[in-house]
Each structure stands twice: as structure tokens, then as C-alpha cells.
A and B are shown apart, each in its own frame.
Chain A
């Protein structure tokens, strides 16, 4: 009697699940919610490979269907597939989102973070920033601008700045202030680091953690735990929808 090979079927279904998961993330451009763009090609190749494995499993299944010789597998081995099924379920049930503000607490908003990445005498942006009066912060220059601001805040006092990010406040944030934050992702979201500047605004309490804003303001400095740090005095603020690529990729 022909007997469906259950083990092979489980493998084929799981492979199909992963193929579809990756495929849907690729066509909806949502991979950058999870990994750095430079890995995307590798993921696409992986998806192709998984699809080939799936086809092979189906082919094997068909063969065993036609001339089945083996007994049904013992059931105690199915726990092996639980982790895969669990992953697929999690991916299916919970929506794809970017990291949100509640993680900032956990990662620790250490505003020194990015500054230490670049050495102090490596200042590619300094000449350009000195000339301009309005510093426009984009995804491409985010890290360099933050590095400049934190190392040499006094050089930029009085200049205007325009940047986007989400709001973060906690118990240590001074009154009438919030931080405007971006996550910097080096490889995948596991290594995301929050980074941003402190902003001063009268009605700071009205802004909720995690909502995205574009701000313009004047750069000032203030003394924070013995160090001179930049503070942006907000002159203009507008709610925006979160970026399609919510992270900054160095």
C-alpha cells in the first residue's frame, strides 16, 4: 500500500514555509527591517537554494509515494521540526515591524556611542559643515554628523539643524526635553544601537515615545554629567510617518 512519507512531507512543508517567508519579505522590501541591505543579495540566493531543496524534497516524496518500501517513521523524532514550525508561526502571527522605542531603555541610550566609532582627527564632514548654516541630517551622513556634534559641540553652536527620528524620553531626561533617536544597524537588528541628540522644547510632555518627527532647531550646548553635550532648541516640529528604512546603515 502506498504510504506518504511523513518525514519528507514535514521537511517539504517547512522548506516551502521558509521560501515563502523570505520571498514575501523580499518582494515587499521588508528585509531591511531585519538586516543590513548588503546582505540582501545573499538572502535572495538563499531563497533560491531553499526553493531547490523544496523541489528536491517534493521529487523524493513523489518517488516514495510510487514505490513505498519503508515503514512509517517513529513519532518521537518529530520534535526536531518544532523549532522550524515555531519560527514560521512567530513570523506569520506577529506583524513585521521595525525596532521600537521600548528597546532604547534596554540597549541604553549612550550618546557617546557613535562618537567613539570615528576617531577624533578623522573629520570628513567638518569643512562642509563649517560652511553651511543649516545642517541637514540624512540617512547617509547621520553617523558623521552625530560624531561631529558630540566631539566638537562648541564649533556648531548657533547653527541650524534639520533631522528626523523618533522620540525617546525616560526618567533621566531633563524636563522640557526629549531625545530624537535613530537605530544604527551594522549587520542585523541584533546589533542595533540607538543614537541621537537631546532636544529642548516647551511642551515635551505632549510627545510620546516612539512617534516619528522631523525637527528643525538651533544647536546649543549644555553641561551633562561633567561633559559638554549638544542640545537642539527646537524651533519647528512636524509629525512624519516612519521611514521605509527605519534604520541608519553605516
Chain B
């Protein structure tokens, strides 16, 4: 320990604690996500999904936006599920609506926000603005993109190949011969495992960057712009993007800035963070085409900045 002075050593230890903290906290959620994705893959047919979805585009978007109410998901684990849904033939705009809204529009986050600020108003503003952003973004996505926007078929092929390689006798012709429930269960676990390794690395890289931001960006430097109405929103959105905290806990962080930032900036922080952060962007750009990811980030950022700016000026 002689090579470091005490302070450097303490900073390194803090970095480790935060880095592992984010990973350990996100681990259950990414595992749930890959299991759900894998169960969808093995047990739910495309036809079933087609039957369940409303035919009307706008009502299916609204439905997807509110789906989080019964399926509360953490933003750490959205991407594997969303990718699977799109592969299963769910329209891209529905998947986007679900991805953007589920981490915010759910009972757990609503309660946490109301508790952190002790104000129903702030919680309502957060959920309302999140709903508007998710709705408008999905509507735009449905106009602009017609395909799945998934990365080329190569990667799915690759994935299957990998799978075959891992266990050479469980072949992918599920439909051709009758497979037992036990085999299906093993398939679920095996697919989940492959996807865990596929997505886990982005989660780790994201947690690393988040921990760097936490350890090295002094928060006092944010405070200087706290009361500039528009700049403070931008700064808080950037801050939310970089620190990668869970959507159930970010309300507590936001409330700690209560005295030094405008309400608009705090709502922007709580709406933008769960929708777009470092971890998600890395996983998204692994699963989807770059042009789609860029489109999504730009639209969500603009809507979030505008929405919260209007919110404080009404």
C-alpha cells in the first residue's frame, strides 16, 4: 500500500465499492430479464403475440406504455426483453413504448418518488411526462421505421451457432420432434446463459463508467448552474445519463438536489435517467442498428428537455 498515498487508496476503494454495488444491484434484474426473454423464446409463439396485440396502432402504443403497471421492470434489464419481443414480431414502436415507460410508469417507482419528495405532484409530473415522451417517441418510431431495426440477421445466426456449439445435441428444430418439459427447461436456462454473457459485458462496462462518473465528478460543480432554468435541465439529464442509478432509487438522489436545482431539472433527471443511460445505450447499440439508437436518443433528449422546460413554465 506504500505506492499510494492514503487518499488515492481510499478513492480506489470507493470506486470498487460503487462499481461492484451497481453490478450486484443490477445482476438480479438482468437475470430476470434474460430468463423472461428466454421463456418468451421457448414458450410463447409469434401467433399468440399477434393475437393478443390490438390491431389499432395508437391503442397498442398506449397499452404498451401502461404495461409496466402490471410488469414492473428495472431499466437495467430492459434491452434483452425488448430485443426478444421485436424478434417475436412485436412491432418496434410497441417495444419502444414498453422500454421507455416500464421503468418509470410502475407502482414501485411511483411510490418511491412520492415518498422521496413527499409530494404526489412531483410523482404525477414524473409519470405524466414519461408517458408523453414514451407515447410521442413511439408514434414517431412507427412513422419513421418500418422494419425491426435489429442488428443484421448475422448476429442472430451467430447466436444460434454459438448455442449449437455449446451443446451440440440440443438442436434448434424444436417443432420437428416433441421435446419434454425438462428439455425445454434446460433450453430456457441455456439460452438465458448465452444472453447473460452477451448482455452482461455491456452492463459491466456501463457500471464501470457510472462508477467513474460517481467517483470523479464533484457534485458541487453541478450546483453552479442549478437555477438557470434551461441549462440546469440539460446538466441534470447529462448527470442522469452518466451515473446509471436504478429508477427506484434515483428519486432520492433527485430530492437531495431539491434546494439547489429547479423542479424541472429534477423531473428531467428522473425521467431521462431510466430511459437512457450509459448501460442501456451500450446494450441497445449491441442489439439494434446505430441509426435507430441515435434516433431514439435524440428524440427522447429533445422531448425530455422540452417537456420539463414547459412543465416549470406553466
Taking Cβ atoms with an 8 Å cutoff, the residues of A that contact B are 5, 7-8, 11, 14-15, 22, 25, 31, 33-35, 39, 42-43, 45-46, 49-50, 52-53, 56-57, 60, 63-64, 67, 69-70, 73, 80-84, 86-87, 90-91, 94-103, 105-108, 110, 112-114, 116-119, 122, 184, 186-191, 193, 210, 250
Q: Are A210 and B168 in contact (CB under 8 A)?
A: no
Residue B169 at the A interface, CB < 8 A? yes
A106 and B204 in contact, given A22-B24, A193-B252 (Cβ under 8 angstroms): no
Q: Are B204 and A117 in contact (CB under 8 A)?
A: no
Residue B13 at the A interface, CB < 8 A? yes
Cβ-neighbour of B253 out of A57, A118, A193 (below 8 A): A193
A117 and B25 in contact, given A90-B19, A106-B216, A210-B10 (Cβ under 8 angstroms): no
Interchain residue pairs with CB less than 8 A apart (8): A11-B193, A43-B24, A60-B190, A80-B201, A87-B20, A119-B119, A188-B25, A190-B249
In the complex, chain A residues whose CB is within 8 Å of the CB of B220? 108
Residue B219 at the A interface, CB < 8 A? yes
Q: Are A193 and B16 in contact (CB under 8 A)?
A: no
In the complex, chain A residues whose CB is within 8 Å of the CB of B253? 186, 191, 193
Cβ-neighbour of A87 out of B23, B167, B189, B210 (below 8 A): B23
A87 and B245 in contact, given A34-B17, A34-B24, A190-B18 (Cβ under 8 angstroms): no
Residue B192 at the A interface, CB < 8 A? yes
Q: Are A116 and B259 in contact (CB under 8 A)?
A: yes
In the complex, chain B residues whose CB is within 8 Å of the CB of A35? 21, 24-25
Residue B215 at the A interface, CB < 8 A? yes
Q: Are A83 and B28 in contact (CB under 8 A)?
A: no
Q: Are A53 and B192 in contact (CB under 8 A)?
A: yes
Using A56-B193, A187-B245, A190-B22 as known contacts, list a sample of 12 further A-B pairs with CB atoms less than 8 Å apart, ordered by residue number in A: A45-B28, A53-B193, A57-B166, A82-B201, A84-B197, A87-B19, A97-B13, A102-B7, A102-B11, A110-B260, A190-B243, A191-B250
Q: Are A187 and B249 in contact (CB under 8 A)?
A: yes
- Ranked 8 nearest A-B pairs via Cβ: A187-B249, A188-B25, A189-B21, A119-B118, A186-B252, A42-B28, A83-B204, A116-B258
Q: Are B24 and A90 in contact (CB under 8 A)?
A: no
Q: Are A97 and B255 in contact (CB under 8 A)?
A: no
Between A8, A50, A57, A108, the greatest number of chain B beta carbons within 10 A of the residue's beta carbon is seen for A108
Residue B248 at the A interface, CB < 8 A? yes
